[in-house]
Amino acid sequence: MPKVSINQIHIGSNRRPVNGSKVNELKESIKANGLLNPVTVDQNLNLIAGLHRLTACKLLGLEAIECNIVNYRDADQGRLAEIDENLIRNELEPLERSELWLERDQILERMGLRAKAGDNQHTFKGGAMISPPPKRTMELAKETGYSERTFQHGKQIAKSIHPEVKQMIKGTPLADSPTVLLKIARAGSEERTSAEAAQKALELAQKQGDKQVAAQQAQLIREAKKKQKELQILAFKSAMAEKEAKLALKKVQRQVEQVIEQPKASLAPDVKLGEEWMLGRHLVYCGDTYTSQFRNLLPSDAALAIAPCAAPSWSIATVSSTWHHNYLVDEARVVAVLRSEGQVYEFYRNNQMPFQYELLVNNVYVGIFSHQEISQPQTAINIEGIEGIVNYLINLYTSPNNFVIAPFIGYGEILIACERLGRICFVGDENPQLVSRGMLRWQQWTGKQAQKALSV
C-alpha cells in the first residue's frame, strides 16, 4: 500500500472536530503496533476517512502514512463516501448525525439518486427508467439503521435550526437530545413558513422584473428569518434553563439531606425588624418590602425580580395577599410573579404592570411583566417544585453577576439559587422568623456566617 507525505493530505473544512481522548488512545496504539488501518484519500489526496488516525500520526512526528487511495468521479462522490464513513461511527451526537443525513440527501439529489415526491421506485415522473433507481426516504432511513420518522425528524433539525443557533447548541447537553433539538427546530415555524412564501414571491417578482415587489419580499424574508432566529435562541435558552433547573433541584435536595443529618451546622441569626444583613454579596432586609426603606437598597439595573403570592405552592411562607409591588417593574428588566390558579386572573386585572405573557409551570402560573417586549418560550416547561421554577427563571432571564430582587424570602429558594448560580440577590421580608430561617439555610449551604450591616 502506497505511503503519502502527511503534509500533502488535504483536510476539508467540513470535517467533524477531533476527539482529544480518542486521538491519545490511537497515539498509544500506533506507537506500539503501527498503523493497522490506513487512512483513505481520493486521487487528489483529499482525506475521506481517518482524521483521528492522521492527527495521531502527526502528533507522533511521522512524516508519511499508508493510504488507501480511491478514485472518485467528482467532489460529490468523494464527500458522499466521507459522510458514509462518518455515519458508521457511534460517537456522533444527534445534531451532527442530522447534519450528515441532510447533506447526504442533498448530494444524492444532485447526483440523481434521490427519489422526489411522486416518483416510484423505478421511474421519474416522466417515465424514464434509470439505473440504479433513485432511493426513497424509507430506503435511506433503513440504510442509516433508524426509523423513517427519526430520519425525517433529523433532517428537519438540520434544515430548520439557524446556523448560529446550531453553534450555540454544539458542545452543550442539548446536542445529545433529539427531542429538544426538534423543539428548537420547530420554534418560529410560522416565521419560517412566511419566509418560504416570501421567497417564492421574490423569485416570481424577479422573473417578472418587478423590482419594487422584489425589494418588499426580500425585506419580508429578512424580517421573518430574524424573528425565527430570535425564537430559536429563546427555545435554546429555555431548554438550557430547564435542564439547569433540574440539575439544581437535585443538588438542592442533596444539600437538604445533608442539613437534616447535621441540623446544628450553624445557628440561626437573631433578626429584628428594620435590620439589614449581608450574606456574602447578597443583601437581606427585614421589613415591608414595598416601603422606601427596601426600595432605596435596590440596584438600579436589576435583571429580574421574582415575587410569589400567598399560595401553598410557595413553600409555607405567609405572604400578604395585598399586592403593593408594582414598583418592581421599574427596578428590574423582567418581573416574574408566581400565582396559584385561583388568584392569577384577579391579579392580572388589578395590577398596573405591563403584562407580556404567562407561563404555566407545574400548576403554578408565572406572569411575566416588563416595559420591554419579551418573546415567550413556545415549548412546554417540565419542571417540578418551586426550587425548579426559581432556578429556571434565573437561568432564562439573567446572566452571572446580574442582580435579582426577591420581595418575599419564602424558604430562601431565590437566595440559594442566586448563590449557586453566581447572581447577586436583594431579598427582604416583613417576617423576622422567615428571614432568619432563609439566612440559616444560606449559612448551611455556604458554611459562611451572615453579617449584620452597620447602621449609618
- All 3 cell numbers of residue 441? 439555610
- All 3 cell numbers of residue 150? 427519526
Q: Alpha helices of 262-298 — where are they, by DSSP H?
A: 292-295
- All 3 cell numbers of residue 328? 418592581
DSSP string spanning 123-174?
Answer: B-TT--B-SSPPBPHHHHHHHHTS-HHHHHHHHHHHHHS-HHHHHHHTTSGG
3-state secondary structure 83-135: HHHHHHCCCCCHHHHHHHHHHHHHHHHHCCCECCCCCCCCECCCCCECCCCCE
Q: CA 153 → CA 116, 124, 190, 425, distances in Å? A: 18, 25, 18, 42
Asked whether 19 and 92 are in contact (CB, 8 A), the reply is no
Distance CA 275, CA 432 (A): 9
| Class of residue 179 by CB neighbours under 10 A (exposed 0-12, middle 13-18, buried 19+) | exposed
Residues of the chain within CATH 3.40.50.150 domain(s) are: 264-452
Asked whether 426 and 302 are in contact (CB, 8 A), the reply is yes
What integer pLDDT is reported at residue 75 of this predicted model?
A: 78
C-alpha triplet 413, 415, 418: angle, nearest 5° = 105
| Fold of the CATH domain 3-145 | 3.90.1530
Sign of the CA dihedral 334, 339, 341, 344?
A: negative
- 10-residue mean pLDDT profile of the chain (456 residues): values are 87 74 88 87 85 90 89 79 75 85 87 70 51 77 85 92 91 89 91 93 94 94 93 91 81 58 64 94 94 93 84 39 84 90 68 86 86 86 84 92 94 92 94 93 90 73
Cell 449584620 sits on residue: 452
- All 3 cell numbers of residue 341? 390558579
Q: Backbone phi, then psi, for 279, in 5-degree steps?
A: -115, 85
**β-strands 282-286, 424-429 pairing:** parallel
Give 30's contacts (C-beta < 8 A, 6+ positions apart).
Answer: 53, 56, 57, 60
What integer pLDDT is reported at residue 20 of this predicted model?
A: 83
| Class of residue 437 by CB neighbours under 10 A (exposed 0-12, middle 13-18, buried 19+) | buried
Is the bond preceding 354 in cis, omega lying within 30 degrees of 0? no
What integer pLDDT is reported at residue 311 of this predicted model?
A: 38
C-alpha triplet 230, 368, 428: angle, nearest 5° = 125
Distance CA 273, CA 35 (A): 75
Q: Backbone phi, then psi, for 121, in 5-degree steps?
A: -70, -25
DSSP string spanning 294-307?
Answer: HHTTS-SSEEEEEE
Residues of the chain within CATH 3.90.1530.10 domain(s) are: 3-145
Distance CA 277, CA 285 (A): 6
Distance CA 264, CA 444 (A): 9
pTM of the model: 0.67
Asked whether 193 and 185 are in contact (CB, 8 A), the reply is no
What integer pLDDT is reported at residue 203 of this predicted model?
A: 94
Ramachandran sector of residue 271 (left: φ over 0; alpha: ψ -120 to 50; beta: rest): beta
| Fold of the CATH domain 264-452 | Rossmann fold (3.40.50)
What integer pLDDT is reported at residue 281 of this predicted model?
A: 94
Asked whether 309 and 319 are in contact (CB, 8 A), the reply is yes
Give 248's contacts (C-beta < 8 A, 6+ positions apart).
Answer: 387, 388, 391, 417, 420, 421
Kindly state the DSSP code that residue 314 receives in the 8-state scheme.
S
Distance CA 19, CA 415 (A): 39
Distance CA 166, CA 229 (A): 11
Distance CA 109, CA 209 (A): 30
- All 3 cell numbers of residue 314? 410557595
